[in-house]
Structure 1
Amino acid sequence: MKNRVLDTLQLIGGNFILACSVVFLIIPNSVLSGGVAGVAIALAPFLTISVETIMTGIIVITFIMGYLFLGKAFAVKTIASSIMYPIFINGLSLIPHTVRVDPILASIFGGLVAGVGLGLVFRTGASTGGMDIPPLILASKTNVKVSVWIMVVDFFTILLGLSAYGLNDVLIGLLSVYSTTKAINIITTLGGQQAKQVFIISDYVDDILDMILENLDRGATIIDAHGGFTRKQKQIIMTVITTVEYPQLERHVKEVDKDAFLIVSDVTEVHGQGFYKI
């Protein structure tokens, strides 16, 4: 029940934040962007109806496409967003506002705010409907990842506005897409603890392992391997530590074996014993 309530609040909040971004930043400043708003703004010069009406039409059409190509289960998960989003868009549009900022700032911050809203929706496992649906359909029919299709669809969405708005606005629109992507990545991993994953190759495995367990109070995994050149059997230590603990780990490893080989990579999110989840 707690998870359902949290998911519901995130779904409502995400759609509301996304709508705020579109109504108060993207539409007033005619920012070409990805998603339904971007398509609507690109098509508006060629049609005699409002941007909000075009957006509502696109959402309905893509929802029907999702139902036909992705099935009833997908439709059930998406219908809440497909209903809430246009309601928020049309409701917020009734509020008098004259937000006019530099187009570049509108593009960047509009993208960031939209990314926060989308990220909250994605955290619930739902879709916002609209232009999320064509990439999902394409991914289901091909071996190409959804994320790749999203980038392709957003790119062509912005190109729709090239003839009506010009290259300058298209380039500004790409800033919005980039900002949205970055914000989505941050929000979807929010609450996890960033860390470093370290692979250690050394002839002093036992000494280094004892140091990790006792000095750093961290766990480790031993991986059996063999050298590609020497063909000798080797043991590799794999451990995950917090970012602030890495300098201490490196110093201790070098004290044990100055020739130790360390492979270090950033870990976006870690859960489990010794790491917390907000």
Structure 2
Amino acid sequence: MKDIIKIILGNIILTFAYALITVPNHIINGGVTSFSLIISQLINTDVTVIANIFTIILLLLSFIFLGKEFVLKSLLSSVCYMFFLSFFHVLPISFIMNPIICVSIAGIMVGLGYFLCISANASTVGFDVIALILNKKNRKFNVALTIRYIGIAILMFGIISFGISSVIYGILFTVIETSTLNICTKLRESKFGLKEEEIVR
């Protein structure tokens, strides 16, 4: 029950940040949607089709390498994500602000949301799945830093599609997001005497 609450709360924080802060301010990140957008422009295919294909692949990888419990919780997380993103998206409010303030607030919120989901042994079925698999295979792979490098690589790959300023803000967002995730992980490790592999089961 505790994990379910963390998954729901994590997705509320995530989707609030995405729907009401990053989207209205046109801030991109290095996630599955951004990567799908890049691929869709290269092969002229609908972005939702590509995003769905990546989601299925990531779910399969989760099942193979991270186990049934992780997949079930990640499915719950995905349902929560879609529901709350749709809910916040239709609200007649948004927070238009200075880009630096925007990426700072949204980055902290998304990092916290990811931490809640990951610490509950779940994912939003994004590229955090890759980071968790690598961490499980070799504990030297820091989850937060791996997510950061994947995100930055995707943003750099999409520099032509998004433009230099969007990529710079996207990289700043990714650094703040993953720094928040890393800090939360270290704080929990310090408080409970857990190692990263015990936090990210």
**Counterparts of 1:29 and 1:54 in 2: how far apart (Å)?**
24
2:182 pairs, out of 180, 185, 202, with 185
**Counterparts of 2:132 and 2:180 in 1: how far apart (Å)?**
20
**Counterparts of 1:55 and 1:103 in 2: how far apart (Å)?**
26
C-alpha deviations, 1:83-119, integer Å up to 9, x for none? Answer: 2212222232222334322222222211111112112
Q: Partner residue of 1:129?
A: 125
Larger Rg over CA atoms: 1
Q: Partner residue of 2:146?
A: 149
C-alpha deviations, 1:3-26, integer Å up to 9, x for none? Answer: x3x322221010111011111112
Aligned residues: 191
Give the structure, 1 or 2, with the largest relative contact order (CA under 8 Å, sep 6 or more).
Answer: 2
**Counterparts of 2:47 and 2:19 in 1: how far apart (Å)?**
12
**Counterparts of 1:56 and 1:94 in 2: how far apart (Å)?**
22
Task: Give the alignment's TM-score, normalised by structure 1.
Answer: 0.57
Identity percentage over the alignment? 27
Structure 2 CA distance for partners of 1:69 and 1:10, relative to 1, 3 Å: closer
Structure 1 residue ranges without an equivalent (≥5): 193-267, 273-278
CA contact (8 A) 1:55 1:86 kept: no
C-alpha deviations, 1:167-199, integer Å up to 9, x for none? Answer: 222121111112112322343455x6xxxxxxx
Structure 2 CA distance for partners of 1:270 and 1:81, relative to 1, 3 Å: closer
Q: Partner residue of 1:269?
A: 190
| Residue 36 (structure 1) aligned with residue 26 (structure 2) | no
Greater share of strand: 1
C-alpha deviations, 1:29-76, integer Å up to 9, x for none? Answer: 22122333543565676668577x875664344223322454434322
Structure 2 CA distance for partners of 1:75 and 1:176, relative to 1, 3 Å: same
CA contact (8 A) 1:29 1:100 kept: yes
CA contact (8 A) 1:36 1:130 kept: yes
Structure 2 residue ranges without an equivalent (≥5): 194-201
CA contact (8 A) 2:14 2:114 kept: yes
Q: Partner residue of 2:79?
A: 83
**Counterparts of 1:43 and 1:95 in 2: how far apart (Å)?**
30
**Counterparts of 1:85 and 1:125 in 2: how far apart (Å)?**
16
Structure 2 CA distance for partners of 1:44 and 1:99, relative to 1, 3 Å: farther
CA contact (8 A) 2:111 2:177 kept: yes
Greater share of helix: 2
Q: Partner residue of 2:93?
A: 97
CA contact (8 A) 2:17 2:110 kept: yes
CA contact (8 A) 1:43 1:161 kept: no
**Counterparts of 1:96 and 1:132 in 2: how far apart (Å)?**
31
**Counterparts of 2:190 and 2:135 in 1: how far apart (Å)?**
26
Structure 2 CA distance for partners of 1:68 and 1:179, relative to 1, 3 Å: same
Paired amino acid for 1:156: A
Structure 2 CA distance for partners of 1:90 and 1:145, relative to 1, 3 Å: same
Further displaced range: 159-168 or 61-70: 61-70
For residue 32 of structure 1, give the secondary structure of its aligned residue in structure 2: coil
RMSD: 3.2
C-alpha deviations, 1:212-271, integer Å up to 9, x for none? Answer: xxxxxxxxxxxxxxxxxxxxxxxxxxxxxxxxxxxxxxxxxxxxxxxxxxxxxxxx7245
